[in-house]
């Protein structure tokens, strides 16, 4: 997602993690949440948001690619933590 406030842009990546799934759709996250609540009695999960500011003279695409690489490292490291852990 690309957001703007006055003349400042930010790139935002977000996803939901629950029971081994990485979900990028809010609708599918709700579907899985209801299904898991009915079948497993669980509704826990984690919301992951990674944001980066785009400098005034920076390229949005270049910054998106850098954030993409960084988010891959973050997601790999998040696998070490239990659901709901604050890090």
Closest CA to 45 of 57, 53, 37: 37
Closest CA to 17 of 84, 70, 67, 71: 84
Q: List, in sequence order, every residue forming a beta bridge with 71; answer none if it has no partner.
A: none
Domain ranges of the chain: 2-78
Sequential pLDDT tens for the chain (87 residues): 889 888 889 999 988 888 778 888 888 988 988 988 899 888 778 888 999 988 877 788 888 999 999 988 888 887 777 655 555
């Amino acid at each position: 997602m690309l957001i703007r406030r006055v003349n400042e842009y930010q790139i935002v990546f977000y996803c939901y993690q629950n029971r081994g799934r990485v979900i990028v759709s809010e609708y599918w996250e709700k579907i899985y949440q209801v299904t898991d609540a009915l079948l497993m009695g669980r509704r826990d999960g984690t919301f992951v948001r990674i944001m980066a500011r785009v400098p005034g003279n920076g390229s949005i695409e270049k910054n998106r690619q850098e954030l993409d690489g960084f988010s891959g490292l973050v997601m790999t490291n998040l696998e070490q933590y239990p659901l709901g852990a604050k890090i």
